[in-house]
Structure 1
């Protein structure tokens, strides 16, 4: 592969990853997720951190949504999701990813691109679409 193509591919990959990997501290205040809820837990004095901890202890949980008291009932709510759907703006809610999913995302972000991924990035760069 030519050096110029490698440099362009590296630059394109850097742009794709510019947002950086998710981390356990990536909590989105004022956001929620729809669907894939398999457990909804009423919490007397729950916090987003408590909801996150419940998710991280449950092997089925991929993401969570905490809801402030008074929005869906008198108590705070913690929803555990079996997937990590795209978040949407939702005042009064907080969402995040499970610690396990965060670890998998970080591990994937640290590996070099595969030959197949390099080919796909190069075809995108040259405007080749299927």
Structure 2
């Protein structure tokens, strides 16, 4: 059974779609590739320290924590200047800079604008 165009638009306009994962969530078993501007070896580090390093630098948009023993004796914190899509990578952890996560959260909570609703309507088959 297909939902009517009006019902789909109503659901989208009211924000009743399934909630996405929170933007600030850390993804265990994932990495990001590209836009690396710095790699930091941390002898006593962990993923929380890596996230903090990212938050301290205005250039950082996302980070990847590689635990000790996976790519050397020390843990590795990789800082990225963009937010590439995550890819599966056992034992690694990735996350977004706090300011990027906050922007995503704010955008996900607002209602679609009239322009966005019109664009969504244009993608639906049949008369509008």
Same fold (TM over 0.5): yes
TM-score of the aligned structures, taking structure 1 as reference length? 0.83
Task: Please identify, of 118-127 and 84-93, the stretch whose mean Cα deviation from structure 2 is larger.
Answer: 118-127
Unpaired runs of 5+ residues, structure 1, are none
CA distance, structure 2, for counterparts of residue 70 and residue 127 of structure 1? 57
Shift in alpha-carbon separation, 1:127–1:20, aligned structure 2, 3 A: farther
Shift in alpha-carbon separation, 1:103–1:45, aligned structure 2, 3 A: same
CA distance, structure 2, for counterparts of residue 19 and residue 80 of structure 1? 28
Shift in alpha-carbon separation, 1:81–1:119, aligned structure 2, 3 A: same
In the alignment, which residue of structure 2 is the partner of 1:86? 85
Unpaired runs of 5+ residues, structure 2, are none
In the alignment, which residue of structure 1 is the partner of 2:42? 43
CA-to-partner distance for each residue in 1:26-61, whole Å, 9 max, x for gaps? Answer: 111110000011110000011111101111111111
Number of aligned residue pairs: give it: 123
Indicate yes or no: 2:111 matched with 1:112: yes
